[in-house]
Amino acid sequence: MAKTLYQLLNIAESANDQQIHRAFKDIERTWAKREDNSAIDTLNRAREAFVILSDTDRRMSYDRKLAASRLQPTEISPPNATEPGRIGLWSQRVAIALLLLFPIGSWIYHNNQQSRQQAELQQIQNAKLIAATDALKSQQEQLLLDNQQMNVQRQDELEARRMENELRLRQQQLDDAKILSQQQLQNQARSLDLMEKHLNTDTHDREQSIAERQAELQYRKPAMATALQEQQDQHLSLQRQRSLQQHDENIASINSLRAARLKAYDRDHGSGGISTSNPAVDP
């Protein structure tokens, strides 16, 4: 009895595509190394069996032919057969029908199983892909949040540094203005002291000169001494008045200047801004 294609590949009639492919590869590895005629013949028949069984339509056609060939050797009882013979005939027909339906049902079952496994595998892969995508999205969102927080912190730090630098600059300007105004006031006080000393020195020199002249006139002319004394008194009085007037004018000018500077300084600093002027400089 000739071997079937399934027997050539050493597989069951319910084998799936993967089992068929694996069986052919095993036969090919086993017989490819030999070069005799039997090995070549075996390899060629196995290749033909693989080509037919790996194709779905050709495999179904071969299964039908195989089932029909198994039906041919059965003997059909004559019409005058007895009742037990008829029962045996029907049992044979039922067995043949089952043999015909078994490979087809087995193939359909394994095909459905394979499709179900592929569907489950595809669902698992899709679930893994979705999970990986969600994880990647969450990582990207976390990175964006971290970058935003870092940017906010940097902006806050830069703003704090800018405000600190502005405060330092304002404080430095105020300190410089205060020091300069103090220096100006000190210089003005020194100028007033020098002027007062100069006036006192001039007055002392004039008084001494007048006293010398008076002494000289007393020896020469008593009358001229009296007139000179009066003239000296008038001149001294006038000189003192002028000195006092000049001193009062200087004091008034200095006080007016101080008041104007302090007013400008208060106006500039009272509005909240930093004045570009200085109390020690003329407004």
Taking only the tens place, the pLDDT of each residue in 97-111 is 777 676 666 667 666
Kindly report which listed range (17-21, 75-79, 241-245) carries the lowest average pLDDT score: 75-79
Q: Give the confidence band of 217 by pLDDT, cuts at 50, 70, 90.
A: low
Q: What is the pLDDT of residues 59-100, one digit of tens each?
A: 999 999 988 887 765 444 444 444 455 666 677 777 777 776
Q: Which amino acid, residue 232?
A: Q
Contact 9, 50 (CB under 8 A): yes
Terminal Cα distance for the chain, rounded:
131
Taking CA atoms, 159 is separated from 101, 152, 165, 193, in Å, by 85, 10, 10, 51
CA angle 86, 67, 89 (to 5 degrees): 5
The rounded distance, in Å, linking the Cα atoms of 197 and 203 is 10
With tokens 């086993």, the residue in question is: 30
Q: What pLDDT was estimated at residue 77?
A: 42
Listed ranges 88-92, 113-117, 138-142; the one with the highest mean pLDDT: 138-142
More confident residue, 1 or 33: 33
Q: What pLDDT was estimated at residue 78?
A: 42
The rounded distance, in Å, linking the Cα atoms of 44 and 224 is 169
Mean pLDDT of the chain: 79
Kindly report which listed range (48-52, 120-124, 270-274) carries the lowest average pLDDT score: 270-274
Q: What pLDDT was estimated at residue 49?
A: 92
